[in-house]
Each structure stands twice: as C-alpha cells, then as structure tokens.
Structure 1
C-alpha cells in the first residue's frame, strides 16, 4: 500500500474518532437557544460557558466527581491486586485442576453482565451493602479479562528467575513481590487503565445499588439533565466533557505502557 494511501486512511480514521469529541465540545459551549433552534452546527455563531457554570450552580458536580473518582480508584486497586495474584497463581504455581480453573474463569467472559445482575444484586443485598460504595466496588474486584491478561503475561516470565529467587530463600510471595512485580509495569498499566475506564463509565450497576443522590457517580448523575419531555443538551455535553477529562489524563500518563502490556499479554 502506498504511503500516501496509508496516510489518508489514518486521517480518515482520526476524523471518525475525533468528530464526536468535537461535536461534544461545540454543543457544551453553545447557548441553549441556538441548540433548540437547531443552530449549533460545527461552529456556532455564539459561544457561552453558561452550560458549564450552570451545572455547578444547580447540582453538586464536585461531589459526584469525588464519588466517581473514589469508586473508580478503589475498584482499580482491588481489581489489579486480585487479578495479578490470580494470574500469577494460574501461570506459575503447580496445583491440581489449574487448567480447569482457568477454563472456568475464561468461560465467564461469555456470560452477559445482565444475566448475572439479579443474583449479584441479591448477594450484595444480603451482605447489607445496598446504598454503599462497596456495593459498586466489590462486584468489580476481579475480572476474567484481567486474570487472563495477567496469566498470559506471567507465562512470559522465565521460570529460572523464580527458581533463583527460591534458592536465595524467597517464598512465592517474596519472589512475586521482589522479582515479578518490577517486571510487570506494562501489565499493571493496562489493567489499571481498563479497570479505571470501565468503572468510571459504569452506569447501570451504580444506578441500581446507590440510593442516595449524594452518592451518585457522574454517569448516573447525567440522568438529572434529561427530563421527561426535553433534555438540557448543553448541560449533558458539558457533563460528558467533564467526565472525559480524567480518562484522557489517565490514558496520556499510561499510554507508553499500554502497547507493551498488551503485546506481552498474548493479545495481538
């Protein structure tokens, strides 16, 4: 394929991905009367910050932002820790039924989230967690995809490193902490990014389990901007724009580990 054609394809792909973001920014800073009159366009005649400032005047946006950040951070820490430990056990420890356990974990990828939502809600309710942040955090404390990525990554770690650590008197935990984890930065970056993005954007499960509006996360809080007969599109896009900023920051910080983590985890 000629270089100019590849360049053209890349430009077209970038336009497809960037255009919705541009539209979101434009609508977020377009006056409400222009939006209702259909005069927003790709470059409106008037710009305003009322959509953004109005959010902070009418709603506890910072509280919702802190709630989302807290839930996403706790879920990321728990998910990365559990998935790393499970992946290391399935990759390096020898025990009966290891392959069967891994197949069972992988089989859960084929089960839709909606199919397990009712029994999961009943379990959380029996634990007395409904209405608490832990009702959102604990069900996402481990994922089949994270376990799979960790196992595939740890399979690439030479067994000789672990054998040498064991000969020096390290336990499996010490070898994992002192030898394996320093080599796993790309994997940790990938798992942290996926867990953080998934929890940050989650809407349905927090909507079901969180009862107090003061505990709502940003995706759930977006429902306040949509009425029965109309919607505050400028406010919706402003809230969506605020929701995207932390994800962009996290991705920019971790992007140099992202490709390396996926390539060493067996996904091409």
Structure 2
C-alpha cells in the first residue's frame, strides 16, 4: 500500500480509540443539565469546570485515589516479585514435577475468575482479612499469565551464563538478582504494566472484600456518583478522566519503550 493510504487507515483506526476519550472530555466540561440536551455535541456549548469542583467538594476523592494507589502499588510489587521467582524456577531449576506444575499453572488460565471467587472469599475470610487492603492484595500476589511470561523469558537466557555465575560463587538468589534480572528489564516493565492496570481497574473483588467506604478504591467509589434514578455523568467522567485514566497513561508512557520488546522476548506474538 502507498504511504498516504496507510496513513488514512492508521488515522481511521486511531479515531475508533480516540473518539470515546474525546466524548468523555466533552462531558467533563459540559454543565450537568446540558449533557443530554440538544443531542450530541462535539464541543461544550458552555465551558465549565463545575464538575471537577463539585466532585472534590462532595466526595473524599483524594482518599479514594490514595487507596487505589496503595493497593495497586503493593499488588504490583508483590506480583512481579513472586512471578519472577516462579518463572525462573520453572525455566532454569531442575526438580521433580516441574512440567506438571507448569501445566497446572497454565490450566488456571482457562478457569473464569468468577468460578473461584467464592472459595477465594472463604479463604480470605478465614484468614481474617475481610475489610482490609490485604484481602485485595494477597489474592493477586501471583498470576498464571505473569508466571508464564517470566518462564518464557528466562528460557531464552543461556545456561552457560548461569553456569559461569555459579563458578564465581553465586547461589540461586544471587544469580537471579545480579545476573538474570538486569537482563529482564523489558519483562519487568511488561509485568508492572499488566499488574498495575489490572489492579487499578478491578471493581468486583474490592467491592466484595472492602466494607468501609473510606477504604474503597476508585472503581468502587465511582458507584457513589450513580443513583437509582439519576447519575452525575459529569462527575463520573471527571473522576474517570483525571484519576482513572491519567495514572494508567503515565505508567504506560513511562514503560512503553520496554513494552513491545518484553512481549516479543517472552514468546508472545
């Protein structure tokens, strides 16, 4: 295809993703009573920032934001650490049942999350974690996809490099920390992005396990702006834009140069 035609196709595909975000921005800066008056509009007829001021004046938005940041950060750090260690063990350590363990881990990818939610809730309840952040963090401490990505990446690491590290006196943990992990920056970037994005957007599990509104994360807190007969769409879009979308965009922009490389070196096409 010619370059102009490729440009037009890319522009059309980009518009599919950009237009919903643009519509959200329009609603954010439109008065509440004008959101659905006069049909769709490509630009606010009366520009206003009242949706932001009303949102922060009526709800503890920054508390919800800090809750979401704490949960997402701790979950991401714990998940990346566990997945890296498990992936390295399944790729480079020799032990009985290694293939069976890998198959069991991969088989969990075919089980819907809703199918294990009840036993998972019972387990968390017996640990006395209901109503605490740990009830949200610990169940996401490891993921089958993360273990698989780590394992596929570490398989490509030459065994001769690990043997040389052992000859220099490095144990298993020292080899992982000082030899393997410096080579795994693209993989770590992918795992951080996936784990952070998943936890930041999670709604159902925090809704079930967090009972104090002061501990709610942003996706759960958004329901406070939805009434039985009405919804503050301007406030909803303001919270979603400023506090839900922007952090994910910042994380992605910071890690994007590692993103494609991490997936390609992990064997995902």
Distance of 2:131 and 2:82 partners within structure 1 = 24
Deviation at 1:47, TM superposition (A): 1.0
Partner of 1:250: 251
Distance of 2:260 and 2:230 partners within structure 1 = 43
Distance of 2:38 and 2:58 partners within structure 1 = 25
Contact 1:130 1:210 in 2 (8 A): yes
Secondary structure at the residue paired with 2:129? coil
Partner of 2:149: 149
Partner of 2:174: 174
Contact 1:27 1:40 in 2 (8 A): no
Could you state the TM-score of these two structures normalised by the residue count of structure 2? 0.98
Partner of 1:9: 9
Distance of 1:38 and 1:83 partners within structure 2 = 52
Contact 1:84 1:150 in 2 (8 A): yes
| Unpaired segments ≥5 residues, structure 2 | none
Q: Which string of whole-angstrom CA distances, capped at 9 and with x for unpartnered residues, describes residues 196-223 of structure 1?
A: 0000000000000000000000000000
Deviation at 1:39, TM superposition (A): 4.8
CA RMSD of aligned residues (A): 0.9
Distance of 1:68 and 1:40 partners within structure 2 = 33
Matches within 5 A, 1:1-268: 1-39=1-39, 41-242=41-242, 243-268=244-269
Contact 1:34 1:40 in 2 (8 A): no
Could you state the TM-score of these two structures normalised by the residue count of structure 1? 0.98
Distance of 2:123 and 2:49 partners within structure 1 = 44
Contact 1:52 1:238 in 2 (8 A): yes
Deviation at 1:38, TM superposition (A): 4.2
Contact 1:26 1:40 in 2 (8 A): no
